[in-house]
Amino acid sequence: MARWSVWAVCFLLAASVWGQGNSEPTNSQENELQRLRERVAALEKLVQVLQAELAALKNNGAAPPLGTHPVAIKQQADEEKQKLEEELKRELEQQPISSTVSRPSSPPSYGAVVFGGGLWQALNPDTSVIANFRTAFRGKRPFASFAGSEFSEAELAFQAATDPFSRLDTFVAVGPDGAEVEEATLSVLDPTFLRLPRNLQIRLGLLRAPFGQLNNIHPPEQPFVDTPLVHRLWFGQEEISPEQIPTEGSFVGTGLSLNWMVPMGKHLTWLTVAPLNTHNSVFDADTGRPAWLFRLRHMHELSLTQSLNLGLNYAFGRNDLGKDTKLFGVDVTYRWRPLKEGLYRSLVWQTEAYWGWRGTDNGDVKPKGWFTMVEYQLSRTLFLGARYDFAQAPDKSFSGRGFSLAITLFPSEFGRYRLQWSRLKIGGRTVHEVWLQTTFSIGVHRPHPL
Amino acid sequence: MKRMLVWLIVALVALMLAIAPGAARKLRVVATTNDLKWAVEQIGGKNVEVVALMHPLQNPHTVQPRPSFIVQLNRADLLVRIGLDYEETWLPPLVEESRNPKIRRGGVGDVDASIGIPLLEIPQGRVTREQGEVHIFGNPHYWLDPENMKIIARNIANGLRRIDPANADEYERNLKRLERLMDDLLDETLKLAAPLRGEKFVAYHTTWSYLANRYGFRIIGYLEPKPGIPPSASHLADLIVRMRQEKVKVILKEPFYENRIPNMVAQRTGAKVVEICPTVGGEPDTETYPKLLRRILTKLVNAVQSEK
C-alpha cells in the first residue's frame, strides 16, 4: 500500500512539472513582462540623465544639454566666471559695501563685541579668549618714534551658573607681566532664597565699580584703543606724571554691590549701592575705609529705534593722605539703530563728566574731567568714532586734553581691526599717537545686556 | 549726610510699595517673534496677554535690546522662544537681567518651541567658526511649515498647562482646533504652491529651507558664501554662472538685507529679486500665520509665473 502511495505522489509531481513546462504564457504574464521591459528602459534613461547631471556637477555647473562636451562646458564656465569675478571686484570696490557679518545685538563699542553662539554647554563654564594686540607710533609728530607693540593681552573668561541661585563670572588678563584677575564676581541671581524682595541683585567679589557707563565695559571691548584721560588719570596706576600716564584706567574694587531694578512703564531704573575696597589715585582702601558708591541709572525708551541712558553717580571714601574724598559724576548715552537697516547703520553718543573733592592738609582740591564720544556705523563692517576728552590730575598738578579719531573694521563677529589717531596735550606737551589694534575672540563670550 | 541716607531709604520704600503686585490677572506671555505670539494667542485664548519682543522687520542677529524688553521679561509668566540659538546673541543676558527665575532655561515658564521639530541642516562633524555663523543645532527658521506650527503649538500648550493647570482642558481644545486649522491650511497651500514644485531659487540667507522642503522647490545657492559671511566677488561669480546654467529666475531676500548685491546678481542673470518678510505682521495683510503663508506662496508663484 505504501509503495503504491509513493508511486502515486511521484506521478502527480511529474505530471505537474510536465504541465508547467509545456503551458503557453498567459496574457497577464505577457503584460507584466512588457511592463518590466518598459520600466528597465525608463530606468536606463534615468541613469543616463543622472550620469550627465553628475558630470556637470563635477564640473561645478548644471547638467549640460545632451550631446555637449563637458570639457568645453567647463572651459566656457571658467572663462565666464573669471570675467564676472573681475567685473564684480571692480564694482564692489567702487563704494563701501555692507557686509553680511552679523552685528552684535548692542553697538559693538559700548555693548561691545558680542560673542554669541550656541555652544553654551550645560555644565562646563562658557569659556572664551579675547586676544588684544596694540601697536603704537608716538612722538611730537605722528610716526616720529615707534613705541613698538606696546601692549598685548589675552582676556580669559570663565562664566557659568553655580546653582539655581547664583552665577560666577571670572575674567583673567594674561599679559607680558603675568596674569591678573580683572574681575571675579559671584552674582546672586535669585535673591528670594535670601528672603530679599524680588528685582534685587547682589554681586560679590572683584567688581568693576558701578560708576559711569563706560567703566562697565572691559577695555578690549571699548570703542577706542585707550580709555578716556579721566579714567587714565583718576583710576589708572597710582603714580602718574605728565610724562607717564597709563594707557588704560578702570575703576575696580573688591566688595559688594546691591542693585535694585525698578520697572517704570516701558522704562527701567536701577539703584545701586556698593562698598568697595579700591586702590587708585582717588581712593585708597589702605586707610581702613572702603569707598561707598551710589549710582542711579535710568534707561528711557524713546522709540523702537532709540534709547537714552542717564546716570547719576556719587562716591565717598578716603584718599592716600587719609583725607575725605568725594566724587560726583553724570553720564548720558544715546543709542540709535534703525529697524530694517539695523545691520548697516547705528549711532552711539556717550558723554561722562566727573567732579572731585579731594581733601588735603591745605583744604579741598577740586579736580574735574569729562569726555564725549560718538561712533557711527558706516556699513555692515565699518565704524567711525571720534572722542574729545579733558581731565585734571586728582591733585590738580597738571591737566590734559585729547582728541581721537578711530576707524574700526569688523570682518566678522569674532575679529576686529582698528586704526586710531590721537592728539594729546598733557602738561603743556603735545604728543601724537597712531595706534593699530587687532582683537580676536575664540570661544563663547556672553553678550553684555544693555 | 545722615539726612541724605534717610531720604534715600524713604524713596526706596516708596518705590517698593508702588510696584506691589495687584489683583488676579491674565497670564503674561512674552514671545520672541510675532509668529510665536500668534500661536500663543490661538492656544491661550482669553487667558493670556501676549507681547512679541522682536519687530518683524528686524534682523534676528541685530536686535537692539530695549529697556521695555527687560520690563516685559521681568513680569512674564511664560517666555516662548524659537530656540536652537536663534535668539542666542541677545536673549540670555536679558533673561538674566530681568531677574525672573520662572523664565530662565529650564524654568517652569520657559518654552523652547523647537522641541520635537524635525530639523534640517544639522551640521555634521566638527563645527568651527571657519564655517561662518553656523547654527550648530540645525536651521532655526522652522516655523514656515504648517506641520512644524503644530509642534510649536503643542510645546506652547504644554507650557501653558504647566503654569495654569486649571485651564488645561481649554488649552487642549484650542490645540486640537489649531491642528485642524493647520491641516486645512496645508491642503490649501499645497494646491496654491503646486506651480513651485521643482522650481529653483537663490536666496540671501538660509531662511527658506523648511518652506522649500514642504512645498517642493529648491534653493540652489545663497548670496552669502557661508551663513553670516560677506559675499565675495568670487562667490558671486560662481553663483551667477550656476544661476545662468540652471536658469534660476528668482532671488529671495528678506527686507532687512540690503538691495545692492541682490540687484547686482539679478542684473547679470535676468533674475527677479523678490522681497519677502518671513514673519507675521511684517507686510500688509500678514497679521495671522495663515495669511502670512498664503502671501509668501502667492508671491513666489506670481514671481515664477511672471518669469515664464
Task: Flag the least confident range among A26-35, A248-257, A320-329.
Answer: A26-35
- CATH number for B25-118+129-185: choose from 3.40.1280.10, 3.40.50.1980, 1.10.240.10, 3.30.465.10: 3.40.50.1980
- Taking the CA of residue A389 and the nearest CA in chain B, the distance in Å comes to 28
> Which residues, other chains included, contact A328 with Cβ-Cβ below 8 Å and sequence gap of 6+?
A313, A314, A354, A355, A356
What CATH number belongs to B193-307? 3.40.50.1980
Return the pLDDT at A244: 77
Domain with A411, as residue range(s), is 126-443
Query: Average pLDDT of A80-105?
Result: 58
Cβ burial of B166 (10 Å; 0-12, 13-18, 19+) is exposed
> Which residues, other chains included, contact B86 with Cβ-Cβ below 8 Å and sequence gap of 6+?
B32, B60, B135, B140
The number of residues in chain B equals 308
pLDDT category of residue A11 using cuts at 50, 70 and 90: low
In a domain, A76, yes or no: no
- Taking the CA of residue B301 and the nearest CA in chain A, the distance in Å comes to 23
3-state DSSP percent of chain A in helix, strand and coil, to 5: 20, 45, 30
Return the pLDDT at A361: 87
Report the share of chain A in percent with pLDDT over 70.
71
Query: Are B99 and A261 within 8 A, CB to CB?
Result: yes
Q: At what angle do helices B289-307 and B168-192 cross, to 10 degrees?
A: 10
Residues of A whose CB is below 8 A from B109: none
Query: Average pLDDT of A309-325?
Result: 91
Assign 3-class secondary structure to A73-93: HHHHHHHHHHHHHHHHHHHHH
In a domain, A200, yes or no: yes
Strand partners, A375: A348, A385
Q: Residue B304 is placed in which grid cell?
A: 515664477
Distance of CA B219 to the CA centre of its chain: 19
Domain locations along chain B: 25-118+129-185, 193-307
- Taking the CA of residue B104 and the nearest CA in chain A, the distance in Å comes to 9
pLDDT category of residue A340 using cuts at 50, 70 and 90: confident
Query: Are A60 and B238 within 8 A, CB to CB?
Result: yes
Q: Do the Cβ atoms of A313 and A294 come closer than 8 Å?
A: yes
Query: Average pLDDT of A198-202?
Result: 84
Among residues A389, A316, A384, which one has the least CA distance to residue A352? A389
Tell me which residues of chain A, numbers 43 to 82, contact chain B at a CB-CB cutoff of 8 Å. Answer: 56, 60-62, 77, 80-82
Residues of A whose CB is below 8 A from B238: 60, 81
In a domain, A100, yes or no: no
Q: Residue A66 is placed in which grid cell?
A: 545632451
Q: Find the CB nearest B67 among A260, A301, A341.
A: A301
CATH code, domain with A148: 2.40.160.10
- Reply yes or no on whether the pLDDT at A45 is more than 80: no
Q: Report which of residues A211 and B135 the model is more confident about.
A: A211
Q: φ and ψ at A304, to 5 degrees?
A: -65, -20
Q: Find the CB nearest B55 among A88, A102, A339.
A: A339
Average pLDDT of chain A? 77
- Reply yes or no on whether the pLDDT at A64 is more than 50: no
- Taking the CA of residue A180 and the nearest CA in chain B, the distance in Å comes to 26
Q: How many domains does the structure of chain A reveal? A: 1
Among residues B120, B122, B118, B117, which one has the least CA distance to residue B36? B117
A116 touches chain B (CB under 8 A): yes
Q: φ and ψ at A215, to 5 degrees?
A: -60, -20
Task: List the single residue in B with minimal CA-CA distance to A61.
Answer: B242
Q: Find the CB nearest A449 among B84, B93, B236.
A: B93
Return the pLDDT at B68: 93
Report the share of chain A in percent with pLDDT over 90.
30
In a domain, A58, yes or no: no
Q: Do the Cβ atoms of B230 and A380 come closer than 8 Å?
A: yes
Task: Flag the least confident range among A64-73, A162-171, B257-266.
Answer: A64-73
- Give the burial string for A110-147 (b: 16+ CB within 10 Å, else e): bbbbbbbbbbbeeeebbbbebbbbbbbbbeeeeeeeee
In a domain, A334, yes or no: yes
Q: Report which of residues A144 and B140 the model is more confident about.
A: B140
Q: Report which of residues B146 and A1 the model is more confident about.
A: B146
Per-residue pLDDT of chain B (308 residues; tens, 9 = 90+): 566 666 766 666 565 555 544 446 799 999 999 999 999 999 999 999 999 999 999 888 778 889 999 999 999 999 999 998 889 888 988 998 888 888 988 889 999 999 999 999 888 877 777 777 778 888 999 999 999 999 999 999 999 999 999 999 999 999 999 999 999 999 999 999 999 999 999 999 889 999 999 999 999 999 988 877 778 888 899 999 999 988 898 999 999 998 889 999 999 998 999 999 999 999 998 999 999 999 999 999 999 888 76
In a domain, A158, yes or no: yes
Q: How far apart are the first and last CA of chain B?
A: 81
- Reply yes or no on whether the pLDDT at A90 is more than 80: no
In a domain, A20, yes or no: no
User: What is the count of residue pairs from A and B with beta carbons less than 8 Å apart?
Assistant: 203
In a domain, A51, yes or no: no
Task: Flag the least confident range among A134-138, A382-386, B67-71.
Answer: A134-138
Cα–Cα distance measured from residue A206 to residue A138, given in angstroms and rounded to the nearest whole number = 34
Return the pLDDT at B151: 95
Q: Find the CB nearest B68 among A266, A335, A448.
A: A266
Return the pLDDT at A65: 39
Query: Are B61 and A343 within 8 A, CB to CB?
Result: yes
